[in-house]
Chain A
Amino acid sequence: MKKHKMLFFRILMSFVVVLSFATSIQAGEVYKLALSLAITGPTSDAGNPYAKGVEDYFRFVNDTKLLGNDTIECTIRDDQYNNDVTKRNFEDFLDQGIVLYLNYSTGSTMGLKRDFEEEKIPVIPASFHAGNLIDSNYIFLPIASYSEQIIGLAEYVAKNHKGGKAKIALFIHPSAFGRGPVEDLTKAVKAGLNIEIVEVVEHGQDLDNTAMLKRLKSKEVQYVLCQTVQSPVATMIKDANSLGYAAKSFGEAGKITFMGAHYTGGNDLIALSGAAAENFFWTTSYRLTSEKSAGADAQLALAKKYGRDDKAANSHNYTNGIMVAQVATEAIKRVKEKGEKVTRSSLYEELNQMNGAKAFQADTTVGPVTYSKTDHAGVDVLQLYRVDGGVFRSVGVPFSSEYIKKIK
């Protein structure tokens, strides 16, 4: 009887040991990441789909075991575009032990720059402001900066404009986000870019831009380059259409061609301005779902898998969110493959090595994501899009700005 009891006890203990071992293998590591952004409040039209992109991609990573048994836990918190709240969220995330942080706005990224340096934490913001990279080691822009986008557009104008030097006006947001590219474009002009900057307009919350457009027309402005968000652009191009000022094709003589950087375009612009959006030129490094590509198909499948509506699924900010999550996942994956522990410093080093043969080929962007110690702008190439028949269609092949290198 005693023998039986001992046998039973041994079997039980073996079972417990095997089970606990199996459970520990099953559990895997949990990598904590965090994102603070405007899900509600100002700019939430961009922040909301962005958050969904990040959330869905990390769910996908965990569901499909892209990192084996390891999982990513990304806390996403709404800051309502309030920098003080972002700061509070960031402090909370640090207490949670995050290894990588995804930030959102230009203001908060600039405001927290010192904290990122002190904490030595790699950060990928949704802001592509070139100023984020000044006196900063830990911020990694996902794609080319706003400055690069605007200079790229100006280069396209200089190359394709017929008849002398093109006259350009800049239509910008009254903040660091909007003003960033102005100085860089001015430098590019001084370096030889063949355009003339006639006026820089910092828009307010105008509901009518007639006076401004008439003024620009009287100054013979032919191109307006926008660095702001969609709604002021929509107001302006609607007014330009009402006045008969909007060009029907690029550089149409006697008319104004409107062009813009990443946050000016996308489906939201078309929804806001309707037919007036036709012939609006827009640049970004992201692929769009209006163009057939493997990345677009994957994005739509992801959105369908997690029950997102068409608006979110086709938003370029959803793409934006997916892309930063892809970069973070790729960095974690590479650190794991090296057999190293996933920490802030190992992720930072890994991101800095993401170049050359190790560049990350994201299917959501028109070019590879490359970072190095001296280059913290991810995708260096841009794609020009144009609204044609109510959707954005690509114009030409991806390009990169030449003058951005000259002025650096």
Chain B
Amino acid sequence: MSANRWLATGNYFATYKEEQRIFFTHTDRLIFSFFLVCVFVWPLVFETNNKYMLVVDNILIAMIAVLGLNMVTGFAGLISIGHAAFVGVGAYAVASVSRVMGNDYIFLTHAWPLMILLSGFIGAVFGAMVGLPAFRLKHLYLAIATLSFQMIFQWAINFMEFFNQGQTIYVGRAFWFTGEVGRNEHYIFWYYVILVILVLMGFMVRNILRTRFGRCLIAVRDNDRAADAMGMHPGLTKVYAFGLAGFFAGVAGALHAYLYRGVGVESFTLHHSITYLAMAIVGGLGTLNGSFWGPMAIKILELQVEKIAEHAGEIFPASTNLATALRPLSFGLVIVLFLMFEPRGIANWWRITRSYFKLWPFRY
């Protein structure tokens, strides 16, 4: 190991334990801490409004969901095209309590951290169940199994009276130590809640990857037969990966329910599943920081395309179809371009940038 843990420019690991550290250098830790302070402090320094806080909150929730998707698709190599349904399971776990006990039921409004955790576990159970075909199925066949769960989910919500046939099921306002979280502080309150959960979950992923369970995921992804020969159980590992993804998605869904103060099926469709997948690809499959870059990039892209489509509609009022097509067109184009020119996603740009600064002023 380098004597100087501030300016290490390469791998100087002498022990396995050293290689498993969360932060390789003190500089990394310092930068991360500084960044963390910034994201916690900026809403207190700058003037915020509900619209932008809603966008930011949405991005953070998508990050939690994509962390889960990255576990199953990025680290375990299992394509899931039903991730929005798992998010929906979490949201509908909250909605179910609201439906049975009333939307202002104390467990919903006061014990919301427990409700969020419970939604995560329900998501994990559903995830593990959907992962069961992984014992027998692989690749595209498994992807179709996840797709079928997406379809079953949408169908069940749309037609079951209990779930209000997909119409909005309201969720009451959460309470904090200061009392009910009112409209004015709603988005900022949930910003901090989601941020804390995101940070915890980020560390959770980082830690899982340091354990034998995390290494199992990667081993199974890279070669499941070899992993089997090494004593791992590929089938159980895959089910476990789906369970983990379901947990993350369930938490994201519960947060979505609280943020929007209601749950409707429109937020958990196949389109959303594809969007989550796109976020994971654009961010960088199989990387932790890719789970943060992807949602940010796709959500910002969506906002920009919305603006462009609106302007296009104003400039060419007769060409509504053109404006309508802009969103899916740009969305598809971004994914194709990333797959062609940067399959490792934005995370790779981050890696290159970090290496540059680490090595500076040397090129190699």
Contact = CB atoms under 8 A, between A and B. Distances in A.
Interface of A: 39-41, 44, 48, 77-78, 80, 82-85, 87-89, 91-92, 94-95, 107, 110-111, 113-115, 118-119, 131, 174-176, 179, 309
A179 B50 contact: no
Contacts, number: 78
A114 B261 contact: yes
The residue among A77, A84, A118, A309 with the most chain B CB atoms within 10 A of its own CB is: A84
Interface residues of B, number: 30
Closest 6 CB pairs of A and B: A92-B51, A91-B50, A40-B324, A40-B323, A176-B167, A111-B168
B262 interface: yes
Given A83-B264, A83-B267, A95 B167 contact: no
Contacts of A78: 306, 309-310, 313, 323
Interface in B166-182: 166-168, 170
A80 B320 contact: no
Contacts of A88: 51, 54-55
B49 interface: yes
Interface of B: 49-51, 54-55, 58, 158, 165-168, 170, 183, 187, 260-262, 264, 266-267, 306, 309-310, 313, 318, 320, 323-324, 326-327
Contacts of A89: 51
Contacts of B167: 107, 110, 131, 176
A137 to B, nearest CB: 15
A39 B266 CA distance: 18
Q: Is the interface of A mostly helix, strand, loop or mixed?
A: helix
A114 B158 contact: no
Contacts of B309: 40, 78, 80
A40 B165 contact: no
Contact of B313 (A39, A115, A175): A39
A20 to B, nearest CB: 31
Nearest to B271: A82
A83 B313 contact: no
A83 B271 CA distance: 14
11 contacts: A39-B323, A78-B310, A80-B324, A91-B187, A107-B168, A107-B266, A110-B264, A111-B168, A111-B262, A119-B183, A179-B165
A44 B318 CA distance: 12
A83 B266 contact: yes
A80 B327 contact: yes
A114 B186 CA distance: 14
Nearest to A109: B168
A309 B324 CA distance: 20
Most buried by A among B165, B170, B309, B320: B320
A110 B320 CA distance: 27
A286 B327 CA distance: 34
B50 A111 contact: no
